[in-house]
Amino acid sequence: MNIVIILLLAYLLGSIPSALWIGKIFYKTDIRKHGSGNLGATNTFRTLGVKAGLIVSILDILKGTAATLLPLIPFFSVTDIHPLILGVVAVVGHMYPIFANFKGGKAVATSGGVLLAYHWPIFILMLVSFFIVLKLSKMVSFTSMVLGIIGLVYTTLYNVFYKIDIPLLVVIILLTSFVLYRHRANIVRIKAGTEPKVKWL
Ligand code: G3P
């Protein structure tokens, strides 16, 4: 029973549509009707500005972190479930949120939160890589996809040279696939040369 509850909780945590709720409550704006229409941090920065964008980034990251750390709660500690499974369920919740008609974000920040909880060095690597790749490309979508590939390379090297962690490798492959799949429209725009670029970096 605990397993069902913990999985449900991870999904519900991931389902919290921070971009939608922050926009509606504090800015009286439905960000689905603006910019790319995506319920994510990038579209929040674009539509509502830096403060809202930062808050949504942090909340979306924390959803993944909290779900992955759920087994630390004594009530669930007897549950024999790998924390990364909970993280993946939270990311699924983020992409297909029950609180927003199952139309959510593109898996980037919440995946980062999962990695922060499970293996923080990869999160730091991702964060640093994010700013470097963004500085060069000026496109958040392109940067997000490259981050997935960087995570994959890092985890493979980690497994080969340091410690075997197959669940981490499998989950990185899964999360990277989610990110690439959810950026289909961005890929079309990048190819057409119409993807918006950031001006602040
Ligand atoms: O994290 C989502 C980002 O990579 C792209 O967002 O709004 O430009 O489609 P957006």
Q: What is the DSSP string of 130-152?
A: HHHHHHHH--HHHHHHHHHHHHH
**Residue nearest to ligand 1 atom 5, measured at CA:** 141
For residues 104 and 17, give the distance between their C-alpha atoms in angstroms, rounded to a whole number: 7
Residue bearing the CA closest to ligand 1, atom 3: 141
Model ipTM? 0.96
Residue 80 identity (one-letter amino acid): D
Could you give the CA distance from residue 90 to residue 28 in angstroms, rounded to a whole number?
A: 27
The separation between the first and the last C-alpha atoms of the chain, rounded to the nearest angstrom, is 49
20 CA → ligand 1 middle, Å: 14
**Ligand 1 contacts CB of residue 106 (under 6 A):** yes
User: Mean pLDDT for each 10-residue chunk of the chain (201 residues)?
Assistant: 90 98 98 97 96 98 97 81 96 98 98 98 96 97 97 96 97 98 98 92 72
How far away, in angstroms, is 185 Cα from ligand 1 center? 10
Nearest to 121 by CA among 85, 182, 163: 163
C-beta 141 within 6 A of ligand 1: yes
- Please name which of 112, 102, 113 lies closest in space to residue 17, comparing C-alpha atoms: 102
Nearest to 98 by CA among 8, 5, 6: 8
3-state secondary structure at position 106? coil
Q: Give yes or no for residue 47 CB within 6 A of ligand 1.
A: no
Contacts of 140 (CB under 8 A, 6+ apart): 42, 134, 198
- 116: exposed, middle or buried (Cβ count in 10 Å: 0-12, 13-18, 19+): buried
What pLDDT is attached to residue 200? 76
Ligand 1 atom at shortest distance from the alpha carbon of 37? 7
pTM over 0.90: yes
Q: What is the pLDDT of residue 78?
A: 66
Residue 58 tokens, joined = 């942090």
Going 74 to 80 to 82 to 88, the CA torsion angle's sign is: negative
pLDDT tens digits for 42-61?
A: 999 999 999 999 999 999 99
